[in-house]
Amino acid sequence: MDIKAVILAAGKGTRMKSETTPKVLHEILGKTLLGYVIDNVKNFTDEQFVIVGHHAAEVEKFVTDNYSNAKTVLQSPQLGTGHAVSMVCPNLENYNGLVLILCGDTPLIKEDTLKNFVDFHNSNNSDLTVMSTIFEDPTNYGRIIREDDNSLKCIVEEKDATPEQKAVKEVNAGIYCLNWSKIKDAFSQLKTNNAQGEYYLTDIISWGKTQQLSVNAYILENSDEIYGINSRSNLATASKIMNRNTLEKLMGEGVTVVDPESTWISADTKIGQDTIIYPFTYIEGKNVIGKSCKIGPCAHLRGGVEVCDNVKIGNFVEVKKSKILSNTNVGHLAYIGDSELGERVNIGAGTITANYDPISKTKSKTVLKDDVKIGSNSVLVAPVTVEQGANIGAGSVITKTIPQWALALTRAPLKILENWVGKKK
């Protein structure tokens, strides 16, 4: 059956206290909250609709720049979650498949969880399924109230709940799966008879019950996955949860993380067996690191990095958008950006690839072929190529192609002034 996703991303995110960045474009390890959500649905849904509102232009640009199969739909004014979903009705007028509804500020939700949720919906012949979870302290969450046959009866918000209902620990997780052809009419019949004067998405449940439809709730075992981001504090908490999950997965696959408490690695980074990640290393974005590498301590990989086997990236080394082939060593205090490094290359301490031209605002590439040796404290001014086996003397500034097996030096002659210090004294 066809599946389309609707992602709610129109909210202002007032508690984030940000004038310039909409809530869903805040980042964890170099990737936006909205990016995590889209990535977790794009592989099993035919189309994704992102509902935009606050900072709509910025969110729309992010979506169109990064996702070919996602569309943005404007919600203006923002009149509640039910109103947000109703904005896609014209796009789905003749659609007969499933619609998955989720929030753009829940980056911890996993693709497998969403697939299991859809499978539950189908296997139970549901017309509408709500994801729920169990909280020992369910304060401030809408409570899941079930029928005697275990189907979903309703969701009761805390302010409207009786003492008996408040004791229920099963709460609404805010993710829905709908048989669209059977539920779509609900969105034209929602009412605003509530304290907020908004159209609530939760009201489609009571509507479904009045239509004698099959309404169910699916219990999510790991409640961390529906952790929502409403503040900078929430962002920090979610970042730690995501990082912990990533490090546990990597260690289970044969990667040594010397100190998980001080190490940060993005979920989009793949690392081979027997690689060692030393403390205070920060790896963000999408990267591939091979087997038997040594990274850090205090290394920073900024995304777009491909590292082959048996590579060492040392202390205080920063790497961005570069490919490093096997058995290469990047010594400490180096910067490697927009570069290709061959096999058996040695980068001396303090070497940088000067890849950015601030006048033209363009970035250029540095290419170091196999067996190249770069002396300490050298600058490679891109675009530049150092051919196979060439050596660069320490302290050199390289601005043009160096032929293979050559030695390149730009060092000024050494001058020694005898007894200069003694005379000063």
Angle (CA) 79-31-71 rounded to 5° is 45
Known catalytic residue: 332? yes
Q: Which of 126, 77, 79, 130 is nearest to 102 (CA)?
A: 130
Tell me the two tokens of residue 355.
Answer: 């890849």
Cα(354)–Cα(350) distance, rounded to whole angstroms? 12
- Pairing relationship of beta strands 170-179 and 339-341 according to DSSP bridges: unpaired
19 by Cβ neighbours in 10 Å (0-12 / 13-18 / 19+) ranks as exposed
Evaluated on CA atoms 148, 151, 156, 158, the torsion sign reads positive
Phi, psi of 419 (to 5 degrees): 60, 25
What ranges in 109-174 are assigned the alpha helix state H?
111-123, 163-166
CB atoms within 10 A of CB 211: 14
> Taking the CA atoms of the chain, what radius of gyration do you get in angstroms?
28
**What DSSP string describes 215-245?**
EEEEEES-GGGG----SHHHHHHHHHHHHHH
341 by Cβ neighbours in 10 Å (0-12 / 13-18 / 19+) ranks as buried
How many CA atoms are closer than 13 Å to the CA of 133, on its beta-carbon side? Answer: 20
**What DSSP string describes 249-294?**
HHHHTT-EES-GGG-EE-TTEEE-TT-EE-TT-EE-SSEEE-SS-E
Cα(170)–Cα(312) distance, rounded to whole angstroms? 49
The single residue of 54, 83, 300, 332 carrying the catalytic annotation is: 332
Tell me the two tokens of residue 287.
Answer: 């990267």
344 three-state secondary structure = coil
**Which sequence positions are flagged as catalytic?**
332
